[in-house]
């Protein structure tokens, strides 16, 4: 039950074009460690799957015969890279083939939802090879190229590059422990990385819990540069903090004064995490509520688990991407869920909300048990909740991985999909 929500700051970036190979000095291609997927397109069994996007092999442009080491996606589909731990990058390189993409929305995961980067969309008229260099480094666990335009675009490779940035730059990669909420004393550790061009021999590591400063750590030792002989990452023990039940804890860790000088890049100094005991009771979802989006509430249930029945009450009128909703809204196996400890999603009294999107899947219940989506805003069996998917190939609910004991009742389900089961 990992409860770490990394905070990402919205970045503006600089566009650049390259026409040949890529300079490999002092850089890491994080795409090689990502899991690549796409929402529709080339079949892996035929050699055109998403694994070709990040296999480290860049074949010649328009090579033959096919398959020739490229993957392709449907027009308007997306490509997603997912990492097990946060990565930092400041450049993306697209190696196109003979069906080049022309634009895409580049998005990063901020811990609760995808956030589009500027410019939106990214326009890419350059054939064969195009790239984006970010003005400041970006840290995330998920990267998505959404709404990709072109005629079934194909890619020989998509690299996600980390270049050394700044002279003295100490970055906080993640809060590694505790992984989960535990009542009592918990040891906190954080991972610090040298993202600059100078070796770091000292750095202050500061941390706060709910805005209250804890005793900082003055680390002394070698944190080598990216590409150096030694490691450029250091795990540091911060100290202990005692958790109590039914309390939300927001933890912030940030670096300062690498080599006893001002940090030259501040955007990557900070990482945050949220911890709390398992959920129990009623929570509002919508503007001004306990959770802003349904996807955020779903993530909380799946991460924090339950120690009693939970109801998510929909107080908003419209849940869509314009209001921050992200799809699919995913419920995994919810720790503590049972026939008595259920999770219920329903409209507030008198409210008739609309959940709408244009996506392949609106709700994913992957191994989720004891979830109730009840569209009635009263004790009667009225249908007051409407869920609409505008995608002609999309579905509203996808139950998989032995999802069971779930109820989907009292809803108006509207779909543009004209296919049959």
What pLDDT score was predicted for residue 78? 94
> What pLDDT score was predicted for residue 207?
97
Per residue in 195-241, pLDDT (tens digit) is 888 999 999 999 999 899 999 999 999 999 877 889 989 999 999 99
The model's pLDDT over 85-100, given as tens digits with 9 standing for 90+, comes to 888 888 899 999 889 9
Q: What would the two tokens of residue 112 be? A: 């609760």
- The per-residue pLDDT for 18 is 25
What pLDDT was estimated at residue 80? 95
For strands 371-374 and 343-347, give the pairing: parallel
Residue 346, strand partner residues: 313
CA Rg, the chain, in Å?
23
Cα of 151 vs its chain's centroid, Å: 27
Whole-structure pTM value: 0.50
Q: How many CB atoms lie within 10 A of CB 184?
A: 9
Express each pLDDT in 271-298 by its tens digit.
Answer: 877 787 889 999 999 999 888 899 888 8
Query: CA-CA distance, 248 to 275, in Å (whole number)?
Result: 6
At 419 the pLDDT is 64
Question: What pLDDT sits at residue 84?
Answer: 87
Half-sphere exposure of 375 (CA within 13 A, CB side): 16
pLDDT at 64: 60
Bridge partners (DSSP) of residue 195 are none
The Cα–Cα gap between 207 and 255 comes to 9
Whether the pLDDT of residue 7 is over 50: the answer is no
The least confident of 5-14, 28-37, 400-409 is: 5-14
Average pLDDT over residues 115-136: 83
For the chain, list the domains and their CATH numbers: 13-163 (2.60.120.260), 170-275 (2.60.40.10), 279-415 (no CATH)
Distance between CA atoms of 395 and 360, rounded to whole angstroms?
6
Size (the chain), residues: 421
Asked whether 252 and 269 are in contact (CB, 8 A), the reply is no
Whether 165 shows a pLDDT value over 90: the answer reads no
Per-residue pLDDT for 168 more than 80? yes
pLDDT in tens, 238-276: 999 999 887 778 889 999 999 999 988 776 788 877 787
């Amino acid at each position: 039950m990992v409860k770490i929500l990394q905070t990402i700051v919205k970045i503006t970036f600089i566009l650049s074009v390259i026409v040949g190979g890529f300079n490999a000095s002092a850089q890491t291609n994080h795409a090689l460690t990502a899991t690549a997927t796409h929402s529709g397109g080339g079949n892996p069994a035929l050699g055109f799957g998403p694994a070709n996007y990040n296999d480290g092999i860049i074949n010649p442009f328009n090579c033959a015969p096919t398959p020739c080491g490229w993957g392709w996606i449907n027009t308007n589909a997306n490509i997603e890279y997912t990492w097990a731990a946060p990565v930092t990058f400041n450049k993306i390189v697209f190696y196109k083939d003979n069906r080049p993409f022309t634009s895409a929305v580049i998005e990063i995961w901020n811990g609760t939802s995808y956030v589009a980067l500027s410019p939106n969309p990214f326009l890419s008229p350059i054939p064969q090879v195009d790239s984006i260099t970010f003005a400041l480094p970006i840290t995330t666990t998920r990267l998505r190229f959404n709404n990709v335009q072109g005629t079934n675009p194909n890619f020989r490779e998509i690299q996600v590059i980390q270049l050394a940035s700044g002279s003295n730059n100490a970055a906080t990669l993640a809060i590694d422990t505790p992984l989960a909420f535990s009542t009592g004393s918990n040891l906190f550790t954080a991972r610090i990385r040298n993202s600059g061009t100078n070796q770091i021999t000292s750095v202050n590591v500061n941390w706060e819990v709910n805005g209250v400063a804890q005793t900082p750590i003055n680390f002394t030792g070698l944190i080598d540069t990216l590409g150096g002989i030694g490691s450029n990452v250091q795990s540091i023990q911060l100290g202990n903090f005692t958790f109590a039940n039914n309390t939300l804890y927001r933890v912030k860790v940030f670096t300062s004064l690498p080599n006893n000088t001002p940090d030259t890049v501040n955007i990557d100094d900070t990482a945050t995490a949220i911890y709390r005991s398992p959920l129990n009771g009623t929570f509002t979802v919508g503007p001004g509520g306990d959770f802003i989006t349904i996807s955020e509430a779903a993530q909380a249930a799946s991460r924090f688990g339950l120690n009693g029945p939970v109801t998510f009450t929909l107080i908003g009128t419209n849940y869509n991407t314009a209001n921050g909703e992200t799809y699919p809204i995913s419920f995994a196996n919810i720790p503590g869920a049972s026939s008595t400890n259920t999770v219920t999603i329903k409209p507030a009294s008198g409210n008739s909300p609309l959940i709408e999107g244009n996506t392949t899947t609106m709700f994913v219940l992957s191994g989720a048990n004891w979830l109730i989506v009840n569209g009635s805003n009263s004790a009667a069996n009225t249908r007051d909740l409407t869920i609409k998917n505008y995608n002609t190939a999309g579905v509203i609910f996808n139950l998989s991985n032995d999802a069971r004991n779930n109820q989907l009742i009292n809803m108006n389900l509207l779909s543009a999909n004209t296919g049959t089961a």
